[in-house]
Chain A
């Protein structure tokens, strides 16, 4: 497992990918931090900065994860993973850890900003730590999604596009939920399907919205960003991360067993 992790993590820096991702985050967070710092009423809130960085997941995660398995398949190096005396599970775990470590490394510039804030006798609220926590938990979830799309195709671009579409969908889940619930409400209202009263229709629509939003990882982890720790979002993210990683493992094993 460690061998795969080491190779994968170092390969981020043998290719431009790692450098580009880190400098991109450095640039964006630096810009945001400087803007907060130099505003007329200087009000530095690190948790807001991290929140802002989260919106770049949608681009960064596909770039980080697209190579993981797709490239190995394309170059034929996946033979090594299949024919060596070790389990495919360790390969999946190793690659996952490599990607999440790169994410963690990207946060280094945020730590630097924290130090600057404290040095300028500013205040780093506990919410900042919560935001970092939420950032990492979300990153883990999204990386497992990216890993899965990478395992399903030989083409990196294809993998990145699929991952991007899924992340975009998750990003828009709240607004999708809202419009779906509106549609549902008006559908009930005009068809008089179950002869429901207005208030019942309203609450049915609201419940539909809530049911969909329940799956929104951004909404789920928003409590961390405001400095509140809850166990449910953590379990939510980690269990989905596990599920996607496990499916990745099964997809890879399928190649061995497939009879087509």
Chain B
């Protein structure tokens, strides 16, 4: 479906991408994960033909994006981070403009627009100016735009950024629905989001792919260690030994110590539930627990985990 080989991109002297290669099969939802500035957007811009790579090759459905751009682009719907919306148009006018640009035959244009509007639930705002729509609706209009012309591949660049939690859930649902008929590449810097939607995850950092694995495998890797945040009334000296004695705990690091309050980060084996043991260990030495919660693994943890495993 999509084949990317050895993409390199320089911005002046700065290397934004250093040899990115991967393949996406038909019907897959690929999560593209990485911190800001990792090269996600650059990769997506190159795939869609918005910018060119310094070297490397992109083929979509067998068409090279640079040599047969029109044929390749027919297969792509792209939603950049900033949705390309004309604020002075109504939703319907805008979608009509996009279908004209995408050369959708005139006789099926209206029908396609209304079916797309139904799919992303914007039928009720079709006559309103985009200027007057909320951010969530604008994002949906942006997604509708990618669906016009029924392309096989849909590329979404951080589609949930800046939305409120309800809108995020709706957009995620929408992406899952779309995946039935489309191949989707979807970028994000939120780990849980990618875990929730994607079949496969590519993690990119500093312009290089650090991991490329099915989501389940990656989750297992990440869950190898679990982290807890503990705030107690006591000192590091008091609690260190008893905590270390708990089976499963790998390390205890002090985060802050102020006015007799100590905050520590406990890293433990993910396969063992150490919460009870921690509680009793603290009770035994008469150290009151003021706060105790498990921390979801952050993207940074994943990077350190994955990169350290590679070494």
**Residues on A facing B (Cβ under 8 Å):** 2-4, 6-7, 11, 14-15, 75-87, 255-260
Among A11, A87, A256, contact of B88 (Cβ-Cβ < 8 Å): A11
**What class of interface size applies to chain B in its complex with A?**
20 to 34
Which positions in B face A, CB cutoff 8 Å?
A: 9-12, 48-52, 54, 69-71, 73-74, 76, 78, 80, 82-89, 97-98, 100-103, 145
- Interface pair B87/A255, CB less than 8 Å apart: no
- In the complex, the answer to whether A259 meets B54 with C-beta atoms within 8 Å is yes
With A7-B97, A257-B52 as contacts: A86 and B84 at CB distance below 8 Å: no
Contact among B49, B82, B89 with A82 in the assembled complex (CB-CB below 8 Å): B49
The residue on A at minimum CB distance from B14 is A260
A11 and B86: CB pair below 8 A? Answer: yes
Listed from nearest, the 4 A-B pairs whose CB atoms lie closest are A3-B100, A76-B82, A85-B73, A77-B84
**B88 contacts A86, CB within 8 Å?**
no
Q: Taking CB as reference atom, which chain A residue is nearest B78?
A: A83
Residues of B within 8 A of A256 (CB): 49-52
A94 CB, min distance to chain B CBs, angstroms: 10
Are B84 and A76 within 8 A (Cβ)?
yes
A259 touches B12 (CB 8 A): yes
* A86-B103 in contact (CB<8A): yes
A53–B275 CA distance with the chains assembled, in angstroms: 84
Q: A86 and B86 in contact (CB under 8 A), knowing A3-B100, A7-B97, A259-B54? A: no
15 pairs across A/B with beta carbons < 8 Å?
A3-B100, A3-B101, A6-B100, A7-B86, A75-B86, A80-B98, A83-B76, A84-B98, A85-B70, A85-B71, A86-B101, A86-B103, A259-B10, A259-B11, A259-B12
List the A residue with the shortest CB-CB distance to B129. A14
The smallest C-beta distance from B91 to any residue of chain A, in angstroms, reads 14
Residue of B whose beta carbon sits closest to that of A76: B82
Report whether B84 and A80 are in contact in the complex, using a CB–CB cutoff of 8 Å: yes
Contact check, A79 vs B97: say whether CB atoms are below 8 A apart: no
User: What A residues does B73 contact at CB under 8 A?
Assistant: 83-85
C-alpha spacing A82/B87, complex, angstroms: 19
Q: How far is the CB of B105 from chain A (nearest CB, A)?
A: 13
Residues of chain A contacted by B70 (CB below 8 angstroms):
85-87
Q: A77 to B98, alpha carbons, bound, how many Å?
A: 11
Residues of chain B within 8 A (CB-CB) of A78 are: 84
Which residue of B is nearest A257, CB measured?
A: B52
Return the contact of A255 from the options B11, B51, B54, B69 (Cβ within 8 A). B51
Chain B residues in 8 Å Cβ range of A4: 101
- Residues of the B chain whose Cβ atoms lie less than 8 Å from the Cβ of A257: 52
Instruction: Take A2-B100, A83-B49, A84-B102 as given contacts and tell me if A260 and B85 are in contact as well, using a CB distance cutoff of 8 Å.
Output: no
Q: A258 to chain B: which residues have CB within 8 Å?
A: 51
A77 & B86 in contact (Cβ 8 Å cutoff): yes
Bound-complex Cα distance A80 to B49 (A):
11
